[in-house]
Structure formats: structure tokens, C-alpha cells
Structure 1
């Protein structure tokens, strides 16, 4: 009798084990065979990735084309671009905060509340842009001295900053509008407007660099800046025309009432941690660029090219993070928590796959990169090592951006990214980078490896946080 019970118990355990294995296999297969989710995701990811690609291509084209004219012009514009990058961090924080609320209220189809979210985001974005415009226009040399001591780079970079500062005023409004309509699953329109204007920017840059001012680096830099201003103004005009004629939401001043007060509290509750995260992360990247800028000009040139290649390689990863966050937010706004959880699991796996693809892309592009830019022998040796390091960096970057900047923020869990980047970047990476560069004076490639370890350090911490599922939150209110 006891033997019979023992055998029966073992049979039950074995059956349960087989059931779990079969269930695990079915879940893994479902990650790829849920055609409805995959179709929704790709509808968002492809336009967003295209938009990211063209946006990165503009920066890449500026760097590459100016590199054909002068290594100093290329390095100067790359360093001056850090100011625009800093402003972009504010845009990213504002647009992410607006996107969190927009995606969840879009799940409830509450367009009136989304209209209010757009007004709030545009108001604060424009105020920040005015501050950046005034500082870049009035004190360009002071800003450039933060990044380099090279007088030629300061002269070129200051000229670019002054001219380019006018584009900030147009970007303040257009970036918020494009972000909100993208979170309403209208990624195609957002991508179309951005792609059109950024493509125009590339064309105008090519005319300025190769036709009008091919032998005058200083005037070529001025032309590139003016081309950026013109393309951003056209982008804003396109947004305003669409909003007025066919848009679901419109540009309006904020309305002061009880609903607006509650929504403003929600906006800052979820935006401030994200904004802090981007400032902490971007500030650290800017500081590492400054460290590299004080090592030598050859490392600056190599880092300029490596950054461009890296940004081009991860465009699909960014599309997964942004597109997936829209779907997760929509599902949570609908109250479909289990569906949002499954979406997050699929996104995490896709992030790994696309990260590997991004790393392989960098290695594949290496020969083309060296044939397109004119660097001296020392800068070429630095660039070769940087590209190998960047290939592995992209895998961790893809997974972290999908979880921290995508899934977590979509569910209102926006504080984790702030604390994670604050500790990793400012407590670990930057002190190590400073010591390696100015105290221990390690070889440049060792320094580059040290300052590229941030995503690797964050990876296990982000995965543990993901598996806790604290990001599954419906943050909408019933204003009706």
C-alpha cells in the first residue's frame, strides 16, 4: 500500500514537472506567435525606429561630412552638440512624462485629458528652451570651454552654438506634439513629419559643406547650423498645420481649473523622476565627454565617430522601448494588467535580440566607417578599439532602455531609473573615469572601457526590479 502511494506521488510530481515544461515552452513560443501584439508593436516600432534612424543620421551626416572638410570642424560641432544634447534631455523627460499619461488615457480614449497634457508639456518645454537659447546665444565661448581647452575648437564650436540656438525655440513645441501623437498610436504621422524635415536638414547640410563652403570650415559650420534652424522651423509649421486641419488634439493654452490642478500634480509626479533620470544620465555622459575632451584631440575625434555609429546601431532598440511603452501604457489604462505583463515579457526578449543585432551591425560597419572619415593614425587606432567596446555595450543598452526607460515608466515606476543612474553614473563611473584620466593616466582605450561599463552594471539590477512587477500600475483618473 505504501509503495503504491509512493509511486502515485512520484507520478504526480513527474506529471507536474512535465506540465511546467510544456507551459514554459508554450509561453516562449507565444512570445513570437502572438500575431496581434506583434502587429501592434511593429506598427509603432518601425515608424519610431525610422524616425530615430533619420534623427541619428542627421547628426551622423553632420559629423561625417564636416570630417571630410576638417577634423577640427568635426570635433568642434560634436562638442557643441553636447549643449543641444543637454536640452534634448529635458525634451525627453517632458515628452516621456507626457507620453506616460497620454498612453494610459488613450487606453481610456479620454482625448480631452490628453489635450490638457499637451498644453502642460508645451508650456514647460518652451520655458526651458528660452533658457538654453539665451545661454547659447550670449555665452557660447563659456559653454565651449567646459568641454575643451583647444582654442580652434572653441572658436568653431561657439559659432555653431550661436546660430543653432534659434532652433531650440521651434523644437520646444514640435517635440511635445510629436511625442503626444506618437503615444496615441499615431507613430506614422510623427515619423513622417520628423523624417521629412530631418531629410531636408541633411540635404541643406550637404549643399553648405560640399557646394557653397567646401574650402571654408568656419562658414561650413555656420551653414550647418542655419540648415538645422530652418528644418526645425518647417517641422513646427507641419505640426501646427496638422493640428489645425486634421489633428485630434490642438495647440491651446492651459486652462486653470480643478481638473488642470489634479492633472498638473500627476504630470510632475511622473515627469520629475524621469526628468531627473535623464539629467543625471545625460549630465554624466556630458561629463565623460568633457573628460575625453581634456585627454587629447585625437580621442575627441575618435569618440565623435564612435558615438555616431553607436547611435545608428541602436535605433531599433529605441523603437522597441518607445513603441512597447505605448502599448504597455495603453493596456494598463484599459485595466488589462495581465496583458501588460505579457507585453513586457515579449519586449524584454526582443530587446535582447535587437541588442545583439545592434552589436553585430557595429562590427559590420567598421570598414565603411574607416573609409568615410579622415582621421590620423592615432585617432584611427582609438576608433578601432572603441567600436569593439561599443558592440558589446549595445546589448546591455538595448535591454536597459527597454526596461528602465520603456516598461517601468509606462507603468508609472519612474523613480527607479533616477536612483539607478544617480548611483551607477555619479558614484561609480564618473569618479573612476576621473581617476583613470587625470590621476592614474591609463591608456585612452582603457579609459573608454571604464566609462562604458555603466549599462553592464545596471543590467542585473534592472532585471531584478523587472521581475518584481512593481511597474504594473494604472495611473489614470476619472475626470468625468
Structure 2
């Protein structure tokens, strides 16, 4: 009878070393990715509350596009991590080509829509004419960044799953610094008292930073990378990998769309309550997203290692890694919540809100602190461990039921029928992660995520 393997202190230290090697750069990259749009919002807050709120709402379109990138990069990462466990680099090269092809098609669709019908997109989130005007201007100029974002994201996610996360952090750091410098030049030097011109210039600064990001990825792939940007080569191997890519990507993609679509719908509900709640929510979202970046690093880094162990056929080591990740998720979730509470005075000093919006923000940050604990565990399991082992359908049905059949109907009733206070409405909107936590824990205990997904192409 085979007994479960216990790795002991030596194995635990080795796993922790591998995990931290991935977590720190991935968390930094996630922080930078979350900061790119956050920088635009926060710096425009110096110009006016309306400019800040408009760009925050317009950023929902970029957020929806990012959901597609997240789904495709997750599918590519699932397969890459497992084939990396087998050291099958040619298969990984083909996976990158497939992911880039799909991401480019989606990018062109969003580019065309944002460029030609930005007003229609903004009316989905607000009826305020000033917010629509400012947001439309931002969307039109920012749409050009969509043409290159997907290619960069696919490349960085694939090499990250090959345990090379540092280069992504370096490239993203460079682009963030450039974006901040460009924003500062536009807002404080060129157009200090012209909100509409500042918004357009800030959008163009983001576009320039994104093009530089892709250029860095191309240079790295040609000089030091083991994979390249190439067109797909359609043969039997490519057909099998495409089938696997779609099999494991579509449920994850559906999960991100269902979850992100629900978040976008809640943003639209908030946008139709009042502009003060929109402004407060834009700041609360920035703070919350920045606080949980380390939690996202645990989820992404841990999923790479779990996938690698599964690709090697080492189920005991994968299970051991999953148990450690769940424990770390709770710890870092508590740290994230405490970070929000500690940094509240700093947040208040950086933004210029009227007294009503300020009171909304105060309550939202308290709610966000508790939200982070459940969010950390759910991200680690639903978006990390489960897809790494091929259990990618669970997140789709879980978010569909919780978000679309519970949270959204309840939020609509609270906002437009019962007309509860904005803080109570925000509390209801934030219940999704709390509801999902016990469900995710039970699913984890079932061990349906322990699967080797690789093929033998020899």
C-alpha cells in the first residue's frame, strides 16, 4: 500500500524557494498592471473629480478586454506549465502562437468598437453628459493600445509559466515608469487646467507605454528567449494542441467573462446611483486591487508549480503544494485587509473628493478590508489550483450562480427598488467572494484538480 508522500522540512523549504522566486516578480507585475489604469485615474483626480470618474468608467472597457486576455493567458499557462514539467519547449512555442492568434482577433474587435462608438459604450455606465464626453475622448485615444496589449500579455504569461517571471516584472516596471512620467508631463506641464486635453494626452501616454512594452517583449524573444512570436503551423500536433487549448481555455474564459461582466454590471449600477458614489468606488477599487496583488502572485506562482508537478506526474508533490498555497492564501488575505486599513489616511491625503464622496469612500475601504480575505483564497483555488490541474469548469458555474443569480439581482433591487444607502449597496455587491469561499473549499477537498494534461508527441 502506497502512503502519501510527506516532503518534510527540506521539501517545504525547496517549494517555498521556488514559490517566492515566482511570487515576487508575478506580484510586482500584477501590481504594475493594476497600476497602469490606476495611475491615469489617480493623477487625473488632481485635475477634477469628473475627469477621474470618467476615466474610471472608461477603464471598464479596458477591464473587459483584459478579461479576455486573462482567460486566454490562463489557458496558455495551464498547458505551458505542464509541458514545462516535461521540458517540451516545441509544444510551448506552438501554444504561444495559438494564444497570440486569438488575442489579436479580440484586440482588433475592441479597438474598432472603442474608436468608432465610444459614446455608446460610455452610456452603458452613466447618463452624466460630462462623464460621457470625457470618457469617450479617453476611449478613442486609448483604443490604439489594444492592438498590442494582447501580444505582450500572451508572451509574458507563457514565459512566466516557464518559471521566468523576472523579465515580465522588469518590462512592466519600465513601462509603468514611462507612463507615470508621460502622465506627469501632460497633466502638470502641458495641460494643467484643461481636463479634456489632459484626458486625451494621458490616454496617448498609455498607448506609447504599451507599444514600448511589446517592443521589449520582441527584443527579449529574439535575443534571450527560448520561444518566439511566430504564426501557427497547422499540422496534427498543432491541431491537438489547439483542441487542448480550447478545451481548457473556454471554461476559464467563460468564467472571467461571467465574473467580469457581473463586475461591469455592478459598476453600471453604481454609475446610475450618483457621481459621488462613482468617484468613491473608483478610488476604493484602486486601493483594493493594489492591496491584493500579492495574493494574485501566490495564485499565479503556485499554479505554475502545481502544473509543473502534474506534468511530471508527481501527484503527491502537487497536492502538497496545493495545501501550502491554501494556507498562504489566508495569511496574505489578512495582510491585504490590514494594509487597506493602515493606508486609509494616505489615500485620503492623495485624492480630492467632496465630503459626501469622502464618507462613501471611508465605508467602502472598511468593507474592502474584509473582502480581501475571501478573495485571496478564492483566487488561489478557483483561478489558480483548479485550472492548473484541468478543473477549469468549476469557476464558470460557481461565478454564474453566485454573481448572476444572487449578487446582481440583489444589487439591482437594493439600488432601484428598495433604494438603500450607497454603503449598504456596496456591501451587497461585495458579498460574492464570501459566498464562494465555502464552495471553493469543499471543491478543493474533492481533489478533482489532480490531472496530468500533457500529450506525448514523440
TM-score range, shorter chain: over 0.9
Cα displacement string for residues 251-283 of structure 1 (whole angstroms, at most 9, x for unaligned residues): 111011111111110000000000000000000
- The aligned counterpart of 1:96 is 74
Q: 2:148, 2:324 → 1: CA distance? A: 37
Q: 2:416, 2:261 → 1: CA distance? A: 19
- Residues 1:272 and 2:250 aligned together: yes
- Residues 1:372 and 2:332 aligned together: no
- The aligned counterpart of 1:479 is 457
Q: 1:73, 1:445 → 2: CA distance? A: 23
* Matching of residues 8-87 of structure 1 within 5 Å: 34-87=12-65
CA shift at 1:332, angstroms? 0.2
- Residues 1:437 and 2:415 aligned together: yes
- Give 5+ residue unaligned stretches, structure 2: none
- Residues 1:124 and 2:95 aligned together: no
- The aligned counterpart of 1:262 is 240
Give the TM-score taking structure 1 as reference length. 0.93
- The aligned counterpart of 2:139 is 161
Q: 1:275, 1:33 → 2: CA distance? A: 34
Question: Kindly tell me: are residues 34 and 283 of structure 1, through their superposed partners in 2, closer, same or farther at Cα, counting changes over 3 Å?
Answer: same
Q: In structure 2, the residue corresponding to 1:68 is in which secondary structure?
A: coil
Task: Tell me which moved more, 61-70 or 318-327.
Answer: 61-70
Choose which of 152, 166, 186 in structure 2 pairs with 1:174: 152
* Matching of residues 77-476 of structure 1 within 5 Å: 77-476=55-454
Matched-pair contact (CA < 8 Å) for 1:98–1:118 = yes
Cα displacement string for residues 175-206 of structure 1 (whole angstroms, at most 9, x for unaligned residues): 10000000000000111111111221111111
Question: Kindly tell me: are residues 286 and 30 of structure 1, through their superposed partners in 2, closer, same or farther at Cα, counting changes over 3 Å?
Answer: farther
- Give 5+ residue unaligned stretches, structure 1: 1-25
Q: 1:233, 1:378 → 2: CA distance? A: 39
Question: Kindly tell me: are residues 31 and 80 of structure 1, through their superposed partners in 2, closer, same or farther at Cα, counting changes over 3 Å?
Answer: farther
Question: Kindly tell me: are residues 337 and 33 of structure 1, through their superposed partners in 2, closer, same or farther at Cα, counting changes over 3 Å?
Answer: closer
CA shift at 1:461, angstroms? 0.2
Q: In structure 1, the residue corresponding to 2:46 is in which secondary structure?
A: helix
Question: Kindly tell me: are residues 40 and 246 of structure 1, through their superposed partners in 2, closer, same or farther at Cα, counting changes over 3 Å?
Answer: same
CA shift at 1:426, angstroms? 0.1
Q: 1:312, 1:381 → 2: CA distance? A: 21
Q: Which runs of 4+ in 1 moved over 3 A?
A: 29-33
Larger radius of gyration: 1
Matched-pair contact (CA < 8 Å) for 1:411–1:475 = yes
Q: 1:146, 1:228 → 2: CA distance? A: 23
Q: 1:186, 1:63 → 2: CA distance? A: 31
Matched-pair contact (CA < 8 Å) for 1:355–1:394 = yes
Matched-pair contact (CA < 8 Å) for 1:58–1:199 = no
Residues paired across the two proteins, number: 456
RMSD: 1.5
Q: 1:197, 1:462 → 2: CA distance? A: 36
Q: 2:278, 2:8 → 1: CA distance? A: 46
CA shift at 1:210, angstroms? 1.3
Q: In structure 1, the residue corresponding to 2:137 is in which secondary structure?
A: helix
Q: 2:35, 2:414 → 1: CA distance? A: 32
Matched-pair contact (CA < 8 Å) for 1:125–1:172 = yes
Q: In structure 2, the residue corresponding to 1:149 is in which secondary structure?
A: coil
Give the TM-score taking structure 2 as reference length. 0.98
